[in-house]
Structure 1
Amino acid sequence: MRGLECDERMGHRFTVAIVEDNYWAGKLLESYCQQCGLKVISIISEGEQLIQVYDQLQPDIMLVDIGLEGNLDGITMVQSLRNAGYQQKVIMVSGTTNIDHVLTSFHDLGSLYFLSKPVMLPKFQAAIRKAIGEILLERSQLIEAPKPRATTWITVKNQKSELPISEDSILFIEKEDKRLTRIHLMNGAHMESSTNLTDILAQSSPHMFSPFKGFLVNLRHVVSYVKESGFPTSRRFLIHLNHTPVKIPLSRNLQKDFAKLLQELQ
C-alpha cells in the first residue's frame, strides 16, 4: 500500500508517539503508521513515562490508549500535557464502551478522533488525514510557531497515587496541617496532597517561591503585591494572582527577594 494512499512525498515530515500498554496493539499501530509514511519515534506503555520524555520527543501526533499501566490513564495524561500548554494532535485509541470516556476525550482534550479497538486501517487513515490536515493548516498560518519552553513537572502524592503536575498550572500551595497541603490550580480546581512544601519546592524551578510560612506561590501568575491594609500594625504584604481572588501573604523580610525575582522573570 502506498503511504496513506495520499502522498508518499510526505515522507517522515510527521512524527508519532504511541502510548499503548498492549504490546501487539502497539505494534499494529506502528505498522499502520509506517504504511502511512509516518515516523514512529516512541512506543510507551505508561503515561508518567511519556510526560517525562515529552520535551525530548515533541511528536506531531499522539496515539493514546485510555487504559495504561501506572497511575495515569490516557485521559489524565493528555489533560496534564494540555495544562502545561502543549497542543499536540491526539487520536484516542481504546476498547472502552464507557461513553463518558469518549465524550471527555472529545470535549475536554480536543482529540481529533476516537478509534475503537480492534482498529481498522481505513478508519486509522481517516484519523491521520484529519490530523495532518490540521497540522498543515496551522503551519500555513504561522511563519514559525514558537516552541513551548521545557516544562517542570512536580510529582505529588494524592491518596495512594503519585501524580505529576505541571508547575505552570499551579497558582499557589498552602499547608493545611502537618500531613496535608492544598494545591490550587489555574483552572480553578484544587487537590489535597500528603507531599510537604519542602519536597515540592525541591522539585520546582526558581519561579516557585515561599513568601510566608506555610505557602508557596508561582511567580508566573503574580499580578502585583501591596502592603496589607486594615491592620495598622501589620508588617505583611498581600500578593494578587491571576485566576483567583485569594490574596497570599508576603513577609516584610522577604519582600526585597520577592521583588527581585519578579523583576528577573519579567
Structure 2
Amino acid sequence: MPLPRPKLTPYHFNARGARMNPTYSVVIVEDNPWIAKLLSEYSERCGLTVLQVVPCGEDIMSCYEQLNPDLMLVDIGLQGEMDGITTIQTLRDKGFHRQKIIMVSGTTNIEHILTSMNELGSLYFLSKPVLFPKFEAAIQKAVTEIELDRKRQEPGETATWITVKNLKVEVPILEQSIVFVEKEEKRSTLIYLVNGEIIEGNTSLSDILAQASPCLFSPYKGYLINLKHVMSYEKERGLPGSRRYLIHLQHTPNKIPLSRMVQKEFAQLLYEMSGKR
C-alpha cells in the first residue's frame, strides 16, 4: 500500500533567498517509513511536488504511467521481489527513459553502486543517512538536466552553450539557463542559473561573451545578464548623486547595476527582443 502523502509547501527558497517554483514532480520508492518521510520533507524544501510515496517496486509499476514524474528517488534495498535496481531496469525496459533517477541506499556493495551510476544512468547516489546539503545538490543537478532536456525539445530555437572552467574541469552550460554572471574582484566567476544553482568558475566575462548570443549583455563592470530574464529596470534610489539604474531579473532577488553609459543600448536591445517574443 502507498504510504501517506505529505503536505506540500508551495515554494522553496534557496540559500540566497531566490524563490523557486515547484514545477517538477517526484516519486519516492522507499520501504523505511521514517526515511520516506525525511525524503518527502527534503523534496518539499527543494520545491518538488511529491506525487506518491511507495514502499516497493511492485506498487510503483501499477501507477507509474499515470503519475509520469520528472524525478524518482529510489532505495536499492526495497522489500518485495523487486529491489531498486530491478525496479528501474523494468521501467527502462517498458520505455520510461525520460525520468531522472537518484538512488538512495545504505549499501556498501560497490557492484550495486556502479550498476546504479552506469547501467541505469543514475544522476546521483546518496548514501544513508542522507543529509540535506547533499540531497539538495543532487536535486539541483537533476533539475538542471530536466531543463536542458526540455530546452532541447523546444522547436525553432537553436541552443547556445557556454563552456566555463571550474578548476581543471570544463562545464557546459545552456545559455538560456543563465540568469546573470558576476565576476568577484580578483576572484572567481559566479554563474547564477534559473534553478537557483550557482556555478563557480574561473572563466573571464570576455571569454563567456565570446561564446554567447546577443542575449548576454554587460550592463556594468563585473556583470553579465541574460536579456531574456529581464523584468524591468529603474533609477537607483537611496544613494544621493547616483546616476545608475537597477535591473530586476526573473529567478533572483538580486538587483544588477546598469551604467548610464549603456542604458540606451540596453533599452534598445530589450525593445528589439520584445518584438521577437
TM-score (normalised: structure 1)? 0.52
Alignment of 1:5-84 (within 5 A): 5=15, 9-84=19-94
1:116 corresponds to: 127
Question: What pairs up with 1:178-197 in 2 under 5 angstroms?
Answer: none
Alignment of 1:227-238 (within 5 A): none
Counterparts of 1:105 and 1:7, CA distance in 2? 34
**1:17·1:62 contact (CA, 8 Å) conserved in 2?**
yes
SS at match of 2:78: coil
Counterpart in the other structure of 1:95:
106
- Specify the alignment match of 1:194 in structure 2: none
Counterpart position of 1:142: 153
C-alpha distance in 1 between matches for 2:95 and 2:17? 31
Q: In 2 relative to 1, CA 39–142 (structure 1 residues): closer, same or farther, beyond 3 Å?
A: same
Q: Distance in 1 between matches of 2:15 and 2:49?
A: 16
TM-score by length of 2: 0.50
Stretches of structure 2 that go unaligned for 5 or more consecutive residues are: 1-10, 156-277
Per the TM alignment, residue 127 of structure 1 is displaced from its structure 2 partner at its CA by: 0.3
Question: Is contact 1:45–1:68 with CA below 8 Å preserved after alignment?
Answer: yes
Contact 1:5 1:36 in 2 (8 A): no
Alpha-carbon distance in structure 2 between the residues aligned to 1:40 and 1:119:
18
Per the TM alignment, residue 84 of structure 1 is displaced from its structure 2 partner at its CA by 1.3
CA distance in 2, matches of 1:38, 1:46: 21
Number of aligned pairs? Answer: 144
3-state DSSP class of the match of 1:110?
Answer: coil
The Cα of 1:124 is off from its aligned counterpart by 0.3
Preserved contact between residue 8 and residue 37 of structure 1 (Cα < 8 Å): no
Which position in structure 1 is the counterpart of 2:202?
none
* Separation in 1, partners of 2:18, 2:96: 28
Where does structure 1 lack aligned partners over 5 or more consecutive residues?
A: 145-266
Tell me by how many angstroms 1:3 deviates.
Answer: 3.1
| Superposed displacement of residue 52, structure 1 | 1.1
1:132 to 130, 137, 143: 143
Q: Deviations over 1:224-266 (max 9, x none)?
A: xxxxxxxxxxxxxxxxxxxxxxxxxxxxxxxxxxxxxxxxxxx
Counterpart of 2:96 (choices 81, 86, 104) is 86
RMSD: 1.7
> 1 CA distance for matches of 2:104 and 2:15?
22
Q: Distance in 1 between matches of 2:114 and 2:152?
A: 29
